[in-house]
């Protein structure tokens, strides 16, 4: 995958030595800028816009998110709890499968619960009925697989052959929608408007017989709505058209779009040696701090990387042989103690960090690029590693 980072932006003005290393630094102004663009889509196009917590769960900014968006969406019980503890607005929860012991609380917490298959809805019919008999109010949704691939990478394609995400639209029958209030369609990954348009053009004729009996249509996430080249006017028009033509409320669930180009991961060179070329060890680990570098894979953008200069392989401090961030150019060979930063690390990287090998978790800092105010939100220590184990 190619990095979608637009550039360092205001982070060029941040002194990297002001934060501990490693550290995620999130620019509140950039978050607000993204949120304002999403709010405009909601205001002019009519859809509810929900933050996907799976991509950005920085609950210290929950109040800011609540000032702009309609709510959040969760991927299971713990995210649903986090949503109700810290965020405002509506809560939609979707999981490929629910554990029986979790579903009663999920129903109690959520405004909408989306199931992956009609069989799950039928299996939990008694639990759903009991919750409603107790006075709980919630909608039931069904996730569909449009069976129309548009994702660039197979492993990130919900419509790939044999996908576990969503009920194949070719198998949909009227009886599957008994008790269902709306449909959920998530088929994109960090993409522009055109793939969404193609998916909807393919899907709309197949869904037309069912839509009059539904209340809403959730178009999921994967929309890079806040990217400079995204056609937001076309998205606004599409959501309007769906709402008018089918009398449906439309929802969007952007995740990375909220935090796009809004955060960096600051680190430090620990050692430098030669092995068929310069190799540097950093206190940033691909496997622990930026797992998408290995999973996607992709090469994160390095702030201030020049066009010419020595190429250095950057790797993390873990014992994993593949803990390699990538090969980068420097104006001169970086010495131990040199600070560096990777761009566009506020979404997904922060929520995926782990402590493999006992590698410390990055601190989290909030920066205001307008005022230059910097606040250290969280630092982690040995107990955070210890208490995950037994």
Tell me the per-residue pLDDT of 115-126, one tens digit each, with 9 for 90 and over: 999 999 999 999
The chain-wide mean pLDDT, for the chain, equals 96
What is the pLDDT, as a whole number, of residue 5? 75
Confidence check: pLDDT of 86 > 90: yes
pLDDT in tens, 315-334: 999 999 999 999 999 999 99
Torsion of CA 125, 86, 65, 14, to 10 degrees: -140
Structure tokens at 386: 């210890």
What is the pLDDT, as a whole number, of residue 343? 98
What are the residues whose beta carbons fall under 8 Å from the beta carbon of 384, sequence distance 6 or more? Answer: 355, 361
Interstrand relation of 90-94 and 112-115 (parallel, antiparallel or unpaired): parallel
Of 18, 2, 34, whose CA–CA distance to 266 is shortest?
Answer: 18
Confidence check: pLDDT of 355 > 70: yes
First to last CA, the chain: 37
Confidence check: pLDDT of 2 > 80: no
Q: What are residue 290's DSSP bridge partners?
A: none
Helix (H, G, I), strand (E, B) or coil at 12: helix
What are the residues whose beta carbons fall under 8 Å from the beta carbon of 335, sequence distance 6 or more? Answer: 269, 272
Q: What percent of the chain has pLDDT over 90?
A: 92
Looking at the chain, the domain(s) classified CATH 3.20.20.10 span 46-259
Of 327, 324, 386, 325, whose CA–CA distance to 361 is shortest?
Answer: 386
Structure tokens at 51: 């933050």
Answer whether 355's CB lies under 8 Å from 361's CB: yes
**Average pLDDT for residues 247-264, to the nearest whole number?**
97
What is the pLDDT, as a whole number, of residue 1? 64
Least confident of 3-17, 130-144, 301-315, 324-338: 3-17
Per the document, the length of the chain is: 390
CATH architecture, domain 46-259? Alpha-Beta Barrel (3.20)
Structure tokens at 77: 């019980």
What is the pLDDT, as a whole number, of residue 282? 98
What would the CATH number be for the domain defined by 9-25+262-386?
Answer: 2.40.37.10
Confidence check: pLDDT of 72 > 90: yes
Measured CA to CA, the distance from residue 147 to residue 348 in angstroms comes to: 26
Which one-letter DSSP state was computed for residue 362? Answer: P
What is the pLDDT, as a whole number, of residue 3? 73
Looking at the chain, the domain(s) classified CATH 2.40.37.10 span 9-25+262-386
What is the pLDDT, as a whole number, of residue 4? 72
Measured CA to CA, the distance from residue 381 to residue 221 in angstroms comes to: 34
Confidence check: pLDDT of 26 > 90: yes
Confidence of residue 113 (pLDDT cuts 50, 70, 90): very high
Measured CA to CA, the distance from residue 5 to residue 301 in angstroms comes to: 7
Radius of gyration of the chain (CA): 22
Confidence of residue 156 (pLDDT cuts 50, 70, 90): confident
Write down the H helix ranges in 163-213. Answer: 193-207
Confidence check: pLDDT of 280 > 80: yes
Measured CA to CA, the distance from residue 239 to residue 44 in angstroms comes to: 9
Structure tokens at 100: 């029986």
Answer whether 104's CB lies under 8 Å from 93's CB: no
Taking the model in full, what pTM does it have?
0.95
């Amino acid at each position: 995958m190619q990095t979608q980072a637009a550039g360092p932006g205001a982070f060029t003005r941040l002194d990297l030595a002001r934060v501990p290393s490693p550290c995620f630094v999130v620019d509140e102004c950039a978050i607000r800028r993204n949120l304002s663009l999403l709010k405009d889509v909601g205001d002019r196009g009519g859809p509810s816009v929900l933050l996907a917590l799976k991509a950005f769960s920085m609950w210290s900014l929950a109040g800011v998110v609540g000032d702009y968006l309609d709510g959040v969406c969760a991927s299971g019980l713990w995210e649903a709890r986090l949503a109700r503890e810290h965020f405002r607005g509506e809560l939609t929860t979707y999981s490929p499968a629910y554990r029986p012991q979790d579903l009663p609380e999920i129903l109690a917490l959520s405004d909408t619960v989306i199931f992956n298959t009609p069989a799950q809805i039928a299996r939990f019919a008694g639990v759903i009925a009991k919750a409603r008999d107790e006075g709980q109010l919630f909608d039931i949704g069904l996730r569909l697989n449009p069976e129309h691939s548009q994702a660039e990478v197979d492993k990130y394609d919900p419509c790939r052959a044999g996908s576990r995400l969503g009920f194949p639209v070719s198998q949909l029958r009227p009886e599957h929608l008994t008790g269902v209030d709306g449909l959920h369609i998530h088929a994109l990954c960090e993409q522009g408007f055109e793939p969404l348009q193609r998916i909807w053009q393919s899907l709309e004729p197949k869904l037309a017989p069912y839509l009059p009996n539904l209340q809403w249509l959730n178009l999921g996430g994967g929309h890079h709505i806040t990217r400079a080249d995204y056609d937001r006017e076309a998205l606004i028009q599409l959501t309007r058209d769906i709402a008018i033509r089918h009398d449906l409320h439309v929802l969007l669930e952007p995740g990375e779009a909220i935090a796009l180009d809004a955060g960096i991961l600051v680190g430090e060179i620990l050692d430098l040696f030669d092995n068929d070329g310069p190799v540097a060890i950093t206190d940033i680990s691909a496997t622990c701090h930026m797992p998408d570098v290995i999973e996607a894979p992709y090469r994160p953008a390095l702030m201030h990387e020049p066009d010419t200069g020595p190429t250095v392989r950057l790797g993390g401090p873990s014992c994993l042989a593949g803990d390699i961030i990538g090969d980068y150019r420097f104006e001169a060979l970086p010495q131990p103690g040199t600070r560096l930063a990777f761009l566009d690390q506020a979404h997904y990287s922060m929520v995926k960090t782990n402590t493999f090998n006992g590698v410390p978790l990055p601190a989290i800092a909030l920066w205001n690029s307008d005022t230059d105010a910097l606040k250290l939100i969280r630092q982690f220590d040995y107990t955070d590693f210890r208490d995950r184990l037994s």
